[in-house]
Structure 1
């Protein structure tokens, strides 16, 4: 067995998402998501799972869903094009403001301002060129505030400032094409680099397509006292969108699955983020300042609403993250920080054509403007964290206070009239606009974590924490029917987690169990009022492990068993849903990868992904049967510079639904999954 091959197998056995006491301490020191800089050497009392650069290269994902299925507890449902709905220790989140349940970031900076998230916002991160993707599960850190209820998904872009680069080309079924390029220039104490990707996809379904371009720039400067890393990411998306298909198990009919009843639907979006991280460090002190700027706009056709209106939204803002870390000695570390940002956002929803459908819809959904408003928001958040190592026990205690304020200006007549002020028949117009106002929200989020080193390679941990999210602007200012004011408070989540993580011989593992109770959950009731007196419970067990069977074979597993339930009285028709399982929340999800390396230059992977049945309505009357998928990947590296990868997705050609849903208006509806399809990657490095 060659030295190179043996080294690779040792790496695969040791570089899992598990945490290994002493060795993991070094890994956690560079975990961006956990520390926002080089940080603590003590074991962390929460779980961060990682999809590495090597895994990303083998997957060559065309969508973020293909990556996050490697993470226990994650369940991202692909919609169409680059759209998706996320879940992380939760049911799949949908509806206005639901995106506030999971914080999505790139290089530790939120993709959107705290009150203006978008459920699809991960398409604005440069995942195609990511160095790795880290997922923090649960509200376990004081570094992140509003929206980090169920966790954080952090896309980490590469340091492209070294003297190396590559060019790659992806080709796949249904007209998929993607070109990638990266080049850096190292000038000693400084460097500059560029990463770019261009995607063209004509799509599997009728009248769908994706055109997407992404660009990332990096600049590095190092002196005796100061290290500066700066980054820029620009993304642009033009997408022709295919909507739901309707009818019970219609995804099993290939002709229906390929059809598109909404050929005019589209999404056009662009986003720019610029940041610089300044780091000063001496023997005991580290100071990190990260100013950033965001600018985003998006227009999309809301084909899922009566009258199919257009929405135009935009936001521009700037902020700063700050962190001071003091190392008293090898046992005590103190962190203090202050985060702040200011954002100006606009939203316009208008309908170009008269509504089609029932007499009620025609009367209550008028042509013209529905909403037109501006919001200025400001946020500030001081926080602290203390880590104390006492013999084998590590104590981690911290808290964050966050204040978010909105200054809302309505540019239309308040109420539920047409845009010209005339009333709608049949009780009034569907859309209601509140008066101009100011709203503010303040929340504490404490946390306490314990880690016990059992031996050189295994750690027992637990944490008690509180997460929260402020009401989103869409929940406060996009009202319906008779509601004129949304009197909302932040959603809160109380979380208790216990787990074991480490390494036993060739096995690396994480075993965790959690219980979370959410209160003041924001939802739209049967009267179409946006309220937040909901409650829900979330209980789960997760397992992630890697096991090197021998020098040629390795197995990786990520699985979860969870129950998510409604815990408050809510009447839907004649049914009180208290005690029901939440819709779109499969109890069991598993991902298994069997890797085989028959030679130094060939690496293969067989992936099995299982999603169990789940209810598609809150009444628990309708359900989706679940599915199982097989994927195969083969990588061949004929030279040190050239790499070729072949992927066959949905090897068994299974008819399945990426997303299943039920509504009283349309019945069962689905986003159908793709049949068997192939993709090939050619990459040359220098």
Structure 2
């Protein structure tokens, strides 16, 4: 639906955004060379052919770029309440419901990588590693660089994240996905260092749809949406289930997701809304394939070196938000409860131990908003979480491998501990517009995180019975202890309207994260205490954004300096030993070329380097590129809408080359993919979709890596494949 245009000085305030239209059989027993020119030629040929063929088609499509399209977008990821995206001085990107429906993601990477600054690497099954204005991080605390939330509530507790936690969101049924690039605002704390991903579910109300999908190798998926309204009460059920037979041998997953949402207008300025989300994943995991360029071998790329690997995960959340508005203030209070359980084989470690982890959280978010007499907007609030967590790592079988490994990694329990964690934060945010055309945004957050650790085994570097290993046991259990971390996070933003078509934005922010519990208490070799400090990142950004009637753009230049990065050195000690620099340029552009044809794309240029002396592989890696940080990647989509209910999209996804080790001696050459997606509405009730991924049958790697022990290793990307779906809207 079109929105009436505001005064041009206001509605052309641009935004740093890329707007997008929108069973387990194997179980352990017990608890640099690119091919861009070639692909550019392919894309140009396809685009020219499309424009030539379709130029005379009927004029029916609505604009997917420009002022009106942007003004329709509302986001909650900056201040936890609905705001117009065009009014924000924040690096926020949005992929909306229409585009999410077209993408019909089997993995969230397929949607998120359309946004500027975002680079999700798919591992196997539903697993992934993320990057937002960063390299792809790995290791125990890698997940702490990003905060993952659903409806504004983190899906895991601050000290107990997991690199795969995007699969704990109901993203398949989302109304939109919002991404904050760089440190989060004062409303977000620990873990929102490099960015924030917030999955926003639909508003409850009338709905009745069913979507069935068939994919390759016996893959099936069903998705349903059922909602009703009864006076002041509205509700909606979201249901998603998928069974995927994996591309690699003896792999695949079953996943089920259920959300119930409700809202109630209690009158007198009070509204109550909330819901629950239940998620279950059972996955047969395939491991890396090993060998230089082995992903190019049509047979070897389908093998699974680790058929015994699996991952089972459950995530349950319940929340309620009580909102009240009076003459002076608007308040929002959200209590919530969360439970997480995950069990999986660490097939990438010698001895292949099993990790069994769970945590339960009671949390509260509270905020008050007031418009002051001078027109400024003041927000104050607090966050509180109390978490009880347990982690057990045990090895059912004897260690295989060298004589040293067999005598340093014992069978049995390695770790068994509990952690009580508390997070308490207060924040304030102030925003004001001036007659000179400048707008000011100030924010400040003070946060404290406490851990109380209880070791349930014998302290020290022994097996579970207290017997030392011949060469010293790898795993070391610290004594009971308590740790506390306090951080202050300031934010400053300025914006100025340069012209009707350009808006200048300046931002200076600090992000932080407290150490993860596993970095503090899951120690190795001779380390008995991990004396760690919080990781801090200072971000400086300048952006120019703008929009016209049928086009919009944003250009963002950023530089971020990160101190106290937590690393594991050659002695397997967890230390604050890494200072890094992250700088880049993000360009996004959308243009409605004709009434039936539009184009949208993003280009990301980045440089991520080590800034202090660190010896790795016998060399000093200072000034080296951080591994898995391509200098160039991006996405371009050509969208044709010849008739109401008919859409055809051609997507070009580019991944530049990147180094796969800190020494910068091993690399992946990058890849280019073409994807074709089509939708056709047969009637008011029935829509058929056909998505063909990797149209040119490229042999590529979803993720490339290198280790001293294996050399080059990869998660292979799948060859050409098609997904056919039918959606029935029966209301």
Paired position in structure 2 for 1:184: 227
Paired position in structure 1 for 2:254: 211
Paired position in structure 2 for 1:680: 724
Paired position in structure 2 for 1:589: 633
Answer yes or no: is the 8 Å Cα contact 2:641–2:647 preserved in 1. Answer: yes
Alpha-carbon displacement from aligned partner over 1:93-152 (angstroms, at most 9, x marks no partner): 110011000110000000100000000001010011010000011114101000000110
- Cα displacement (A) at 1:568: 1.1
- Cα displacement (A) at 1:91: 0.2
SS at match of 1:422: coil
Paired position in structure 2 for 1:404: 449
Distance 1:114 1:6, change over 3 A: farther
Structure 1 residue 501 and structure 2 residue 554: aligned?
Answer: no
Paired position in structure 2 for 1:123: 167
Answer yes or no: is the 8 Å Cα contact 1:647–1:680 preserved in 2. Answer: yes
Structure 1 residue 54 and structure 2 residue 107: aligned?
Answer: no
Mapping of residues 615-654 of structure 1, within 5 Å: 615-654=659-698
Paired position in structure 1 for 2:127: 83
Q: Distance in 1 between matches of 2:184 and 2:479?
A: 38
- Cα displacement (A) at 1:165: 1.6
Between stretches 456-465 and 633-642, larger displacement belongs to: 456-465
Q: Distance in 2 between matches of 1:451 and 1:331?
A: 16
Paired position in structure 2 for 1:340: 384
Q: Distance in 1 between matches of 2:391 and 2:85?
A: 45
CA RMSD of aligned residues (A): 1.5
- Cα displacement (A) at 1:10: 2.4
Distance 1:166 1:14, change over 3 A: farther
Answer yes or no: is the 8 Å Cα contact 1:46–1:462 preserved in 2. Answer: no
Mapping of residues 605-616 of structure 1, within 5 Å: 605-616=649-660
Distance 1:594 1:615, change over 3 A: same
Alpha-carbon displacement from aligned partner over 1:586-606 (angstroms, at most 9, x marks no partner): 010110000112222321000
Mapping of residues 164-563 of structure 1, within 5 Å: 164-224=207-267, 225-329=269-373, 331-391=375-435, 392-426=437-471, 428-563=472-607
**TM-score under structure 1 normalisation?**
0.96
- Cα displacement (A) at 1:282: 2.8
Answer yes or no: is the 8 Å Cα contact 1:246–1:670 preserved in 2. Answer: yes
- Cα displacement (A) at 1:204: 1.1
Answer yes or no: is the 8 Å Cα contact 1:617–1:662 preserved in 2. Answer: yes
Q: 1:45 aligns with which of 86, 89, 102?
A: 89
Answer yes or no: is the 8 Å Cα contact 2:551–2:590 preserved in 1. Answer: yes
Q: Distance in 1 between matches of 2:331 and 2:645?
A: 44
Structure 1 residue 105 and structure 2 residue 158: aligned?
Answer: no
Q: Distance in 1 between matches of 2:86 and 2:330?
A: 17
Q: 1:141 aligns with which of 169, 178, 185?
A: 185
Q: Distance in 2 between matches of 1:330 and 1:195?
A: 43
- Cα displacement (A) at 1:558: 1.2
Answer yes or no: is the 8 Å Cα contact 2:60–2:642 preserved in 1. Answer: no
Distance 1:95 1:605, change over 3 A: same
- Cα displacement (A) at 1:281: 1.1
Q: Distance in 2 between matches of 1:477 and 1:85?
A: 23
Alpha-carbon displacement from aligned partner over 1:369-426 (angstroms, at most 9, x marks no partner): 0100000000100000000110211100010000000000001111111111000012
Distance 1:217 1:41, change over 3 A: closer
Alpha-carbon displacement from aligned partner over 1:509-546 (angstroms, at most 9, x marks no partner): 11101000000000101111100131000000001111
Q: Distance in 1 between matches of 2:697 and 2:297?
A: 13
Answer yes or no: is the 8 Å Cα contact 1:219–1:230 preserved in 2. Answer: yes
Paired position in structure 2 for 1:598: 642
Q: Distance in 2 between matches of 1:158 and 1:285?
A: 26
SS at match of 1:73: coil
- Cα displacement (A) at 1:214: 0.3
Distance 1:75 1:360, change over 3 A: same
Paired position in structure 1 for 2:36: none
Alpha-carbon displacement from aligned partner over 1:647-685 (angstroms, at most 9, x marks no partner): 000000000000000000011000000010000121011
Distance 1:144 1:473, change over 3 A: same
Alpha-carbon displacement from aligned partner over 1:340-376 (angstroms, at most 9, x marks no partner): 0100000000000000001111111110001000000
Answer yes or no: is the 8 Å Cα contact 1:203–1:209 preserved in 2. Answer: yes
Distance 1:475 1:602, change over 3 A: same
Q: Distance in 2 between matches of 1:438 and 1:508?
A: 51
Distance 1:273 1:6, change over 3 A: farther
Q: Distance in 1 between matches of 2:555 and 2:517?
A: 37
Answer yes or no: is the 8 Å Cα contact 1:43–1:451 preserved in 2. Answer: no
Q: 5+ residue gaps in structure 1?
A: none
- Cα displacement (A) at 1:43: 3.0
SS at match of 1:9: coil
**TM-score under structure 2 normalisation?**
0.90
SS at match of 2:77: helix
Q: Distance in 2 between matches of 1:548 and 1:108?
A: 32
Q: Distance in 1 between matches of 2:296 and 2:67?
A: 42
- Cα displacement (A) at 1:223: 2.5
Q: 1:93 aligns with which of 126, 137, 140?
A: 137
